[in-house]
Amino acid sequence: MGCRDVHAATVLAFLSGTASVAGLLAAVLLPNWRQMRLYTFNRNERNVTVYTGLWIKCARFDGSRDCVIYDPQWYTAVDQLDLRVLQFALPLSMFTAVSALFLCLIGMCNTAFVSTVPNVKLAKCLVNSAGCHLVAGLLFLLACAICLTPSVWVIFYNNYLNRKYEPIFSFDISVFIAIASAGGLFFTSVLLCLWYCACKSLPSPFWQPLYSHAPSMHSYASQPYSSARSRLSALEIDIPVVTHAS
């Protein structure tokens, strides 16, 4: 199957990028970035676990699913630097990845539905599919870096909190979801870049940046006969004149 067709590589990259964005959205919304476990020595009371997210904070007794303390305004009073950075980094990473998905979709649709020979009137407005996939791959790589760096920092900052205070802090499932989503974004970027490099060597006008002009068309027309021409010698050969119309 030619590189002009929408094949498994680009479809797999689009699905992988979509799943990664969904994972980032789940990591942003879940209140499970850090746990702070508070122990009590009173046998008549239960231990408390405080679940800290990017936007809310919830405190629960052991064995209970209901929040004893629920703070929906936590995002305005975050006192942990790593979580504050994540509040800006993860939405930015999601926006970058969604932009890459949009470019990837444009490239796939352009490859599937645009004819080989462009319209002369629309030649300057054409979208280059290969360029869309390449830029999308670079944007996926950028989104991966924006997401992965602060997510990994949470692990080291958690160890810093345990050394500074008490060993009561632990990172939660949202950290793993964010790192896995960053890995998905990196896989998507590598897949698109490999597809671009593998197919670029093929001789095809598909890999030109843009059509600067439409393919030349040749039309053949004979010179009209006149009364003077009809009186010419019978030995004269009527040779068609080739005119070029771009």
pLDDT, tens digit (0-9, with 9 covering 90-100), for 137-166: 999 999 999 999 999 999 888 888 888 887
User: For residue 122, what pLDDT band results from cuts at 50, 70 and 90?
Assistant: very low
- pLDDT in the model for residue 201: 57
Residue 55 lies in a domain: no
- pLDDT in the model for residue 123: 44
User: For residue 116, what pLDDT band results from cuts at 50, 70 and 90?
Assistant: low
CATH of the domain at 80: 1.20.140
What is residue 48's three-state secondary structure?
A: strand
Mean pLDDT confidence for 208-229: 43
Query: Nearest 5 degrees, angle CA 40-CA 44-CA 46?
Result: 45
Sign of CA dihedral 41, 42, 44, 46: negative
- pLDDT in the model for residue 203: 52
pLDDT value at 187 more than 90? yes
- pLDDT in the model for residue 26: 92
pLDDT value at 131 more than 60? yes
Contacts (Cβ under 8 Å, ≥6 apart) of 118:
126, 211, 214
Residue 12 lies in a domain: yes
Parent domain of 86? 6-31+76-113+124-199
Q: Is 165 left (phi over 0), alpha (psi -120 to 50) or beta?
A: alpha
- pLDDT in the model for residue 70: 79
- pLDDT > 90: percent of the chain: 26
Q: Which of 52, 46, 39, 42 is nearest to 64 (CA)?
A: 46
Contact of 245 with 220, CB cutoff 8 Å: no
Q: Which residue in this structure is represented by tokens 């800290």?
A: 52
pLDDT value at 207 more than 70? no
- pLDDT in the model for residue 89: 92
Other CB atoms within 10 Å distance of the CB of residue 130:
21
More confident residue, 52 or 213: 52
Q: Give the pLDDT confidence of 57-105 residue by residue, as tens digits.
A: 888 887 777 777 877 887 787 888 888 899 999 999 999 999 999 988 8
Residue 227 lies in a domain: no
pLDDT value at 206 more than 50? no
Q: Which residue in this structure is represented by tokens 């009073």?
A: 77
Contact of 86 with 74, CB cutoff 8 Å: no
Q: Is 243 left (phi over 0), alpha (psi -120 to 50) or beta?
A: beta
Mean pLDDT confidence for 193-209: 62
Specify the DSSP element, H or E, that contains 50. Answer: strand 48-52
Residue 185 lies in a domain: yes
Residue 246 lies in a domain: no
- pLDDT in the model for residue 112: 66
- pLDDT > 70: percent of the chain: 69
Residue 139 lies in a domain: yes
User: For residue 200, what pLDDT band results from cuts at 50, 70 and 90?
Assistant: low
- pLDDT in the model for residue 237: 44
Residue 47 lies in a domain: no
Write phi, then psi, for 53 (nearest 5 degrees).
-115, -170
Structurally, how many domains does the chain consist of?
Answer: 1
More confident residue, 208 or 33: 33
Residue 156 lies in a domain: yes
For the question of whether the overall pTM of this predicted structure is more than 0.85, the answer is: no
User: For residue 217, what pLDDT band results from cuts at 50, 70 and 90?
Assistant: very low
